[in-house]
């Protein structure tokens, strides 16, 4: 807990899978990991917003990154995993295919990402991490969740 810098240096990442791809997010943004159940649909929301759920008395929106990134199959069963993120003052749950591990990446292991311009806009990618043969897509989850694209915040609101 010594480094307070916000850059990528020696940070710990939570690694999760969506389809065949592996993604990493700053572990400090993760509040908990839980199963997917009891989600109430919200009308007229984008398709990837599955709805809201009750997390110990707090109403938390749940979104499915598999639908957002158009990868993997959006199936919901006992194995479906929700990563609960604590971003700013908001709590948001994201559905992924599975959580694999927690890795510490040194700056040398992180490469700049090329421009994609696909479902995952490159502005939300901090870099690509490589460990052995694996390629990890490191996401700036905070930036992504606060963007208007995710439709989590009112457009007028900050």
Partner 1 sequence: MSMDITEFYQTFFEEAEELLNEMEHLLLDIDIDEPDSEQLNAIFRAAHSIKGGAGTFGFTVLQETTHIFENLLDRARHNELTLDREIIDIFLETKDMLTDQLNAYRNQEEPDPEAFERICNTLKRIAEERVEGGAPKVAAPKPAAQPAAGADAAARVLTLTLTKIEEDEKDTLTEELALFGAIKHSEFSEGTLTVSIETQEPVDDIEAVLCFVLDAGQISIKETSGAEASEPVQSAPAPVAEQPSASAAQPAAKKPEDDKKATAKPAAPKKPAKAGNGSDASLRVSTEKVDQIINLVGELVITQSMLEQTTQGLDPVAYGQLLNGMTQLQRNARDLQEAVMSVRMMPMDYVFNRFPRLVRDLAGKLGKEIELVTVGKSTELDKGLIERIIDPLTHLVRNCLDHGIELPDKREAAGKHRVGKLTLSAQHQGGNILIEVSDDGAGLNREKILSKAQSSGIQISDTMSDEDVWQLIFAPGFSTADEITDVSGRGVGMDVVKRNIQQMGGHVDILSQAGKGSTTRIVLPLTLAILDGMSVKVGDEVFILPLGAIMESIQVKTEEINKVAGQDQVIYVRGEYLPLVELHKVFNVPSAQTDVTQGIVMIVQSEGRHCALLVDQLIGQHQVVVKNLETNYRKVPGISAATIMGDGSVALILDVPALQRISRDRRGESSRSSATVH
Alpha helices in the chain (DSSP H): 65-68, 141-146
Nearer to partner 1, 38 or 98 (CB): 38
Smallest gap from residue 48 Cβ to partner 1 (A):
14
Instruction: Provide the mask over 91-120, with x wherever binding to partner 1 is found by CB under 8 A and - wherever it is not.
Output: xx----------------------------
User: Shortest approach of partner 1 to residue 45 CB, angstroms?
Assistant: 7
Euclidean distance between CA atoms 84 and 82, whole angstroms: 6
Regarding 56 and contact with partner 1 (CB under 8 A), the answer is yes
| Other residues' Cβ atoms within 10 Å of the Cβ of residue 45 | 15
* From 2, 112, 154, 158, residue interacting with partner 1 (rule: CB under 8 A): 154
Cα–Cα dist 44/141, whole Å: 24
Paired tokens of 59: 């109403």
Rounded to whole angstroms, the maximal C-alpha distance in the chain is: 45
* 78 lies in the binding site for partner 1 (CB under 8 A): no
Residue in 51, 99, 109, 147 binding partner 1, rule: CB under 8 A: 51
Q: 112-117: which pairs have CB atoms within 8 A and are 24 or more residues apart?
A: 113/137
- Is 153 one of the binding residues for partner 1 (CB under 8 A)? yes
Q: Which residues bind partner 1 (CB under 8 A)?
A: 38-45, 51-54, 56-61, 90-92, 151-154, 157
């Amino acid at each position: 807990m010594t480094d307070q810098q916000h850059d990528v240096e020696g940070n710990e990442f939570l690694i999760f899978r969506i389809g065949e791809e592996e993604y990493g997010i700053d572990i400090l943004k993760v509040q908990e990991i839980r199963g997917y159940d009891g989600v109430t649909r919200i009308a007229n929301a984008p398709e990837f917003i599955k709805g809201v759920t009750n997390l110990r008395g707090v109403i938390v929106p749940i979104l499915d990154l598999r639908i957002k990134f158009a990868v993997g199959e959006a199936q919901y069963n006992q194995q479906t995993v929700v990563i609960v993120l604590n971003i700013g003052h908001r709590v948001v749950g994201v559905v992924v295919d599975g959580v694999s591990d927690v890795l510490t990446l040194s700056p040398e292991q992180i490469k700049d990402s090329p421009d994609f311009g696909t479902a995952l806009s490159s502005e939300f990618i901090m870099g690509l991490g490589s460990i052995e043969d694996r390629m990890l897509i490191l996401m700036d989850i905070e930036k992504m969740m606060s963007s208007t694209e995710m439709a989590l915040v009112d457009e007028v609101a900050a």
